[in-house]
Amino acid sequence: MPITVVPALDLLLVSEKLSGQIISSPFATALSSTAVNVTWKTLRNWNFVEGFYIKYRPVENSDDVGNSQREEYIVDAINSNTAVQYILTGLKKFAWYDVCVQPFYQSVKGSTSSTVRVQTLEDGRKFSR
């Protein structure tokens, strides 16, 4: 995919193009006790994407659904419309995280992907294939 983004796009048009499912469901793999690799695909309208927000937050356990006491999402920004992966670092050891991806163009935020849940590894363990 080309890296070019058309400059000075009409933000109303961009908002329309970034609505709906733009990002595939992300896939998250624990790499270590403090790092997770997140991958995704841009399904359409990539030329209206300037970058991606990677949103993540710790949750109590794998069954923590609908808990109103959840922490706010931590957000990392990637300023590339061709990015397909990101490594989250500095995470809590052997902890569960909710992760999702959201495309953006300037001040316009696109639809957020579905959320995936991943657990970091036990201390001292590394991901092996």
60-109 tens-digit pLDDT: 876 655 554 568 999 999 999 899 999 999 999 999 999 999 999 888 88
Between 129 and 70, the more confident residue is: 70
Domain ranges of the chain: 11-119
For 83-106, the DSSP string reads --EEEE-SPPTT-EEEEEEEEEET
Please say if the pLDDT value at position 2 is more than 70: no
22-36 tens-digit pLDDT: 888 899 999 999 999
Measured between alpha carbons, how far is 49 from 5 in angstroms, rounded to an integer? 7
Topology adopted by domain 11-119? Immunoglobulin-like (2.60.40)
On the 0-12 / 13-18 / 19+ scale of CB atoms within 10 A, 41 is middle
Give pTM, 2 decimals.
0.81
